[in-house]
Amino acid sequence: MPERIVHANGVELCVETFGAPGDPAILLLAGMSSSMLVWEDEFCARLAADRRYVIRFDYRDTGRSVGYPPGAPGYGGLDLAADALALLDELGVFKAHFVGISMGGGLAQLVAADHPERVASLTLISTTTSAEYGDDLPPMTEELLDYFMNAPTPDWSSRESIVDYWVELDRRLAGSHARDDAALRARVERMFERTANYESSMTNHNVMDKTSGAKRDISAITAPTLVLHGTEDPLFPLEHGIYLAGKIPGAELVMLDKVGHELPRTAWDVAVPAILAHVSQTLTRVSTTE
């Protein structure tokens, strides 16, 4: 179905779905400052082709969802998790398979811990624990830290400056797999065109309250869990994925060779079948609210 605006959790969110509403639902949760377009059309279509109802949406301050002034989001991570559940309610979905990348993986863990009845399964991609690191997990690489500390701020009035920034950031986060920079740039330009305020989009998720009341014991998560993690992730090194898979009971780990902090097309032939197999193994059909 085409993109549409729905009212959920007291705010307006932009959502798009693939497949039939009666099929098991897969809710896709993007990373920080990322709109729904981080989940490419073809990726969503591949999931939906296996008779799945695939849902992607724009977080607050991304894409066509509600926006806030730069530096003053007025919401926190728990609100974004609540948005996801409220969105499912608006779509008539009670239980879904949560697939989250980076920050989206953290939000998925929060929902699984607090509302296990709503989560049919978890797929955690390029992410880490939503609790404090307890086992000396390695930090981001020195090279990436240096980039974050010294990268120039984009000119928020310039399309070219913002697109250049996104493309360079993607390059810094990527692994050593083959890249299609022309396709990436085209996708970033599409993201730019449907974002009302890129300064808010790139700023507010960084400054929002991400920790207040948000620490959870991931060893208590009961949802069947799949962990997909790149072997060359510079933000959350592979040890983070290994840690997640070891702490969440029964979790399965799939390592993505030559992949960084991302889910590139080169990994889809591994990731998509793994996600679909994981979803199928739960034998859970979607429930609709009355």
Q: What residues contact residue 76 under an 8 Å CB cut-off, 6+ apart?
A: 208, 209, 210, 212, 214
Q: What residues contact residue 50 under an 8 Å CB cut-off, 6+ apart?
A: 276, 280
Do the beta carbons of residue 1 and residue 17 sit within 8 Å?
Answer: yes
Which residue numbers are catalytic? 102, 233, 261
**CB crowding 227-258: b at 16 or more within 10 Å, else e:** bbbbebbbbbbbebbebbbebbeebbbbebee
Region of residue 9 (phi > 0: left; psi between -120 and 50: alpha; otherwise: beta): left
| Count of all residues that appear for the chain in the document | 290
Q: What is the CA radius of gyration of the chain?
A: 18
